[in-house]
Structure 1
Amino acid sequence: MSNSNIISTSPNANIDVEALQLTTQQTAKLFYLETKFEWLKSIRNPAFALPATLFPAIFYLFFGVLMNQHDPQAATFLLCTYGTFGVIGPALFSFGAGLAVERGQGWLDIKETSPMPASAQIVSRLFVSMGFSVIVLLTLGVVAFGLAGVSLSLLQILMLSGILIIGGLPFCLLGLTLGLFLKAESAPAVVNVIYLPLSFLSGLWIPITMLPDYLQSFAQFLPPYHLSQLALKVVGQDAGGSLIQHLLILVLFSALFFASAMLAFNKKSV
């Protein structure tokens, strides 16, 4: 009797497994398509793509090459700080300004009524932000190794790239919060007001030691400073502080930004 039950239920079990596999494949395809079209939309938007990919390299060319007087050590330092500056921009603008504009145009409401998982919007923007971070680091690398005399080992290049690309996550969460709170008309300006002073005060444009003492102390409370210090540790030019300390502070900021994003999302849903 037990054997007959097993035989009778086996076809249903096979159907369930096939249905589950089909559902998983369909979900993966939705994530892939959303990421693909989010990427195409972003890369074809010159107002976003050009500043995101070229501004860090232009700033680095000016400060790390033209004003550097052939100092490879200073150029290496600035490669880390401008690399940090470069990966933060796509994270903030893709999630912050981009999300706010789409929300104002009603696109988010349309997507919420579709069968696409809500998380696909977030995951797609995360991958797009990481993709732009890779482009930023490649352009910086061309200038640094080709014109500034920077010399790093392959291991250092991989470590530096990995830290900066993954380190953009807290700023994606900050951008998500801004994108859910801000109105479409004000979002780009507000993101710029946050992005540029935050970068300067964190020592990403000029070495933190060139700032007044009180600003150097204030930088300890800013997440870009800690990400840049992780990057500078790779080349042995950080200002001190343990690796664990910098990581914990970035994780803490990530948790705070995530909580604020969920608050903004729940407020929008009410």
Structure 2
Amino acid sequence: MTATRETKAASAVGQVRQGGALGLIAVSAVTEVRSKLRTPEFAVGAIAIPVLLYAMFGLPNAGVLPGGTTVRTAFVVSMAAYGVISLAIFTFGEDVAKDRGQGWLRTLRATPVPVWTYLVGKVASAVVLAALIVAAIGVLAATAGGVRLDAGTWVALAALMIAGVLLFAPLGFAIAFLVRPRAAAVISNLIFLPLAFASGFFMPLSELPEVLGDIARYLPTFHYGQLAYAVVMPAEDITYWTGVATSPAWVHLLWVFGSAVVLGAAALIAARREAVTARG
């Protein structure tokens, strides 16, 4: 790992000296993607768990919702959203916190390499893994589950899922910079698992206690799910599945983008404060 980072830093410094900002970003992004894909326990865990959950919860259920949407199709959205959001939280939360605790960010600040290029590399790796999660669930759903969606719908769903990595990255960064590095993994789990349950990713909110449905209205993950369900389901089925009347898309977008801005600002303030402290 140390050798990889030294190689990354050396290559990046070379790009800085050549004045190539785009080249610097490319070096950081490609190195980060290769690092993730060469770590089987992370790559397999990030992709395999959502697929396994779909196989457990989605495939056995052959029901059909009142508007004609199959339950297996609804679970494609639920498990893909689960996988993408967990990827964002743990990649940008636990992973960045670990590097922060090991002093890697402090080392970068002492070089000509901007820290933001390191973060862009994290984003690139998360986007690649998010695409693999959606593809794996989609292939399983289409082959073993008989889910039939037209090409345009698959593309729209995949695009929204991949965008979810960017929308929930601020939550991961907030965890990484606001909590102690050793506590980041625990905090990530304590935040994500309740969010996933309360947002109805594991089972419809209509089958959960009413209080969870009331809480869900204030969660960005729930509103993200509402946007994703709308890609493959009519409003009638969304209401039946979630147990909550649908709202205009702009309401859901406001919640998702608003939370991303607030959490991103909190993470930025914490990161800048740490940088000032390190220099002082």
1:213-228 aligned at under 5 Å gives the runs 213-228=210-225
Deviation track 1:194-246 (CA, whole Å, cap 9, x = no partner) reads 11111111101111211121210110111111111111101124231111111
Asked if structure 1 preserves the Cα contact closer than 8 Å seen for 2:62 and 2:70, the reply is: no
Q: 1:44 maps to what in 2?
A: 38
Counterpart check, 1:133 vs 2:96: no
Following TM superposition, by how much is the alpha carbon of 1:112 offset from its aligned partner in structure 2, in angstroms?
Answer: 1.4
Q: 2:261 maps to what in 1?
A: 255
CA distance in 2: counterparts of 1:196 and 1:32, whole angstroms: 34
1:39-188 aligned at under 5 Å gives the runs 39-66=33-60, 68-69=61-62, 73-188=70-185
CA distance in 1: counterparts of 2:113 and 2:238, whole angstroms: 44
CA distance in 1: counterparts of 2:39 and 2:89, whole angstroms: 16
Following TM superposition, by how much is the alpha carbon of 1:141 offset from its aligned partner in structure 2, in angstroms?
Answer: 0.6
Asked if structure 2 preserves the Cα contact closer than 8 Å seen for 1:75 and 1:148, the reply is: yes
Which has the larger displacement, 163-172 or 84-93? 163-172
Q: 1:18 maps to what in 2?
A: none
CA distance in 2: counterparts of 1:259 and 1:95, whole angstroms: 15
For structure 1, the residue ranges without an aligned partner over 5 or more in a row are 1-21
**CA-based RMSD:** 1.5
Q: Percent identity?
A: 29
CA distance in 2: counterparts of 1:179 and 1:188, whole angstroms: 9
Q: 1:29 maps to what in 2?
A: 23
Q: 2:247 maps to what in 1?
A: 241
For normalisation by structure 2, the TM-score amounts to: 0.84
Following TM superposition, by how much is the alpha carbon of 1:181 offset from its aligned partner in structure 2, in angstroms?
Answer: 2.1
The letter for the 1-side match of 2:189 is N
Asked if structure 1 preserves the Cα contact closer than 8 Å seen for 2:62 and 2:72, the reply is: no
CA distance in 2: counterparts of 1:34 and 1:175, whole angstroms: 19
CA distance in 1: counterparts of 2:192 and 2:99, whole angstroms: 20
Following TM superposition, by how much is the alpha carbon of 1:158 offset from its aligned partner in structure 2, in angstroms?
Answer: 1.0
Following TM superposition, by how much is the alpha carbon of 1:170 offset from its aligned partner in structure 2, in angstroms?
Answer: 2.6
Asked if structure 2 preserves the Cα contact closer than 8 Å seen for 1:201 and 1:215, the reply is: yes
Asked if structure 1 preserves the Cα contact closer than 8 Å seen for 2:58 and 2:75, the reply is: yes
Counterpart check, 1:198 vs 2:195: yes
Following TM superposition, by how much is the alpha carbon of 1:172 offset from its aligned partner in structure 2, in angstroms?
Answer: 0.5
Asked if structure 2 preserves the Cα contact closer than 8 Å seen for 1:96 and 1:179, the reply is: yes
CA distance in 1: counterparts of 2:124 and 2:262, whole angstroms: 21
Aligned residue pairs total 246
For normalisation by structure 1, the TM-score amounts to: 0.87
Return the match for 1:267 from 250, 258, 273. Answer: 273
Following TM superposition, by how much is the alpha carbon of 1:83 offset from its aligned partner in structure 2, in angstroms?
Answer: 0.9
Following TM superposition, by how much is the alpha carbon of 1:44 offset from its aligned partner in structure 2, in angstroms?
Answer: 2.0
For structure 2, the residue ranges without an aligned partner over 5 or more in a row are 1-17, 240-245
CA distance in 1: counterparts of 2:178 and 2:259, whole angstroms: 18
Following TM superposition, by how much is the alpha carbon of 1:137 offset from its aligned partner in structure 2, in angstroms?
Answer: 0.3
CA distance in 1: counterparts of 2:191 and 2:45, whole angstroms: 16
Larger Rg: 1
Following TM superposition, by how much is the alpha carbon of 1:70 offset from its aligned partner in structure 2, in angstroms?
Answer: 6.2
The letter for the 1-side match of 2:148 is S
Matched position secondary structure for 1:152: coil
